[in-house]
Amino acid sequence: MKIYNTMDRKVEDFVPIKEKCVSMYCCGPTVYNFAHIGNLRTYIFEDILRRTFEKYGYKVRHVMNITDVGHLTGDGDDGEDKMEKASRESGKSVYDIASFYTDAFFLDEKRLNIKRPSVVCKATDHIAQMIEIIKGLEEGGHTYIAGGNVYFSIDTIDDYGKLAKLNLDELKSGARIEVDSNKRNPKDFVLWFTNSKFKDQVMQWDSPWGRGYPGWHIECSAMSMKYLGPHFDIHCGGIDAIPVHHTNEIAQSEAYTGNKPWVNYWMHGEFLLNDKGKMSKSSGEFLTLSLLLEKGYDALDYRYFCLTGHYRSQLKFSFEALDMARSARLALVEKTRELLDSRNDSAVLSSSALEYKSAFDDAMNNDLHTPQALASIWKMLKDPGVADAEKLALIYYADDILALSLKDVKKEAERIGSDEDYALLEERSQAKKMKDYQKADQIRAALLERGFIVKDTPAGSILVKA
């Protein structure tokens, strides 16, 4: 299997530390708000990565953290803790906020057929491990205390910034950002804040340096090493984590363990864009999965949409593009339904079917090329030289990775209303065709009274529970 390693900026053969095993750590959500569909794109990419390894015989240990403390509004240790800010604005406790948005996040993941990580761990449950690492760094001479905070000194290591290929001299002279005056080097970062910075911080713990709370980056070093050991295979996240968060994770972890490299492969998902650029929580303009569901889409329409782009390319969201993904997914579901009668359990595939199977495998093994993988499935479905039973077998085979619930397709389309409801829906479609919009609107109102919203999609009108 070949994957792109951000550290080397190239596609490389994946060589696991332990044969046929993959240890992978993925930076999880900061649970002060709903995940937006951009965040979810990154988790879909990580799910595809995991499923691909599993499909080809690897045993995957997948660890994901939940950031419930320490993530400040600014990347340079500036600003307020995002959780505390949400608490102040909503009047709810930080712990209630964390628990609410963590549940909401896993509901989104479930709807998107994202497998639950083998280990999900919360930052607030791992303060002791973080303190241990900071103590080790202090003993190794990598820290200093200024203004009550403990800082990591990047000048104590010789390869700071290697992941992002930072040019430190340029950064120093051209630094435009306002720098914390406690820092000896503008790129130094906080390992532990004491209460000197935010006096009313609710989440605080005792530490050898005073009561306070951790900087953001230390949590991922602490939890990944606790659950995967001091040297593991893959670390993932969105590309925005490269210049600061992952750079700092590497600095402190390698300084602490002496292991170089700490992680063998770094993989990053590109952004989901909207009209204005990167979709982001802080800009306040973002779409959630629930909003797509309210508009009548299925979560898997969004999953399909994500699969149409390679994870290392930017993907621009629009409702037109989502409609196209929905039509394609529904067509795939219909095709699967048509093929159900041909089901047979023969394991033998003809040579033409085998060719499509290897085209799919090649695409996935070539750095998770989902657009090519989907294209190979569509081509196969249109090929009269492949028997129906083989087509169905290949759809099921691909669905282990694509996870579009194609294996769950039943002979009868699932209906959420009675025969009468569907007769009304059909009558409305006819009225629309005849351009009798008044009648169509009346039927829509009648269906609403019966508890259904009518959604017009490119694949026809559907009923959604009101």
Q: Is the dihedral of CA 170, 193, 79, 255 positive or negative?
A: positive
Q: Which is nearer to Zn ion, 6 or 365 (CB)?
A: 6
- Asked if 280 touches ligand AMP (CB under 6 A), the answer is yes
**Residues in the chain, overall count:** 466
Q: What residues contact 37, with CB distance under 8 A and at least 6 apart?
A: 272, 279, 286, 287, 288, 289, 292, 302, 317
Contact partner at residue 70 from ligand AMP, Zn ion, none, CB < 5 to 8 Å by partner kind: none
Near Zn ion by CB under 5 A, which window of 172-180, 216-224, 252-260, 326-334? Answer: 216-224
Contact partner at residue 220 from ligand AMP, Zn ion, none, CB < 5 to 8 Å by partner kind: Zn ion
Binding residue for ligand AMP (CB under 6 A) from 238, 377, 428, 454?
238
Backbone angles phi, psi at 195, to 5 degrees: -70, 5
Angstrom distances, CA of residue 332 to CA of 300, 326, 407: 12, 10, 11
Binding residue for ligand AMP (CB under 6 A) from 279, 299, 374, 409?
279
Contact partner at residue 224 from ligand AMP, Zn ion, none, CB < 5 to 8 Å by partner kind: none
d(CA 105, CA 397): 28
Contact 179, 186 (CB under 8 A): yes
The annotation status of 412 as a binding-site residue, yes or no, is: no
Near Zn ion by CB under 5 A, which window of 24-32, 118-126, 194-202, 274-282? Answer: 24-32
Binding string, residues 348-387; x marks residues near ligand AMP by CB under 6 A: ----------------------------------------
d(CA 198, CA 86): 15
CA angle 319, 321, 323 (to 5 degrees): 70
Backbone angles phi, psi at 48, to 5 degrees: -65, -40
Which residue type sits at 97?
Answer: I
DSSP 154: G
Q: Are strands 59-66 and 119-122 parallel, antiparallel or unpaired?
A: parallel
Binding residue for ligand AMP (CB under 6 A) from 30, 52, 87, 194?
30
Q: Which is nearer to Zn ion, 191 or 403 (CB)?
A: 191
Angstrom distances, CA of residue 380 to CA of 35, 83, 254, 372: 36, 49, 47, 12
d(CA 45, CA 48): 5
Q: Which is nearer to ligand AMP, 120 or 387 (CB)?
A: 120
Binding residue for Zn ion (CB under 5 A) from 1, 112, 130, 220?
220
* Cis geometry, peptide bond prior to residue 261 (ω within 30 degrees of 0): yes
Binding residue for Zn ion (CB under 5 A) from 26, 27, 403, 447?
27
* Footprint on residues 9-28 left by ligand AMP (CB under 6 A): 27
Q: Which is nearer to ligand AMP, 216 or 356 (CB)?
A: 216
The annotation status of 27 as a binding-site residue, yes or no, is: yes
Binding residue for ligand AMP (CB under 6 A) from 134, 190, 272, 292?
272
d(CA 135, CA 130): 9
* Footprint on residues 388-407 left by ligand AMP (CB under 6 A): none
Contact 237, 27 (CB under 8 A): yes
- Asked if 316 touches ligand AMP (CB under 6 A), the answer is no
Size of the site for ligand AMP (CB under 6 A): 18
In the complex, the smallest distance separating the C-beta of residue 419 from ligand AMP, rounded to whole angstroms, is 43
Residue set of the binding site? 27, 220, 245, 249, 281
List interacting residues with Zn ion (CB under 5 A).
27, 220
List interacting residues with ligand AMP (CB under 6 A).
27, 29-30, 38-39, 41-42, 237-238, 240-241, 269, 271-272, 278-281
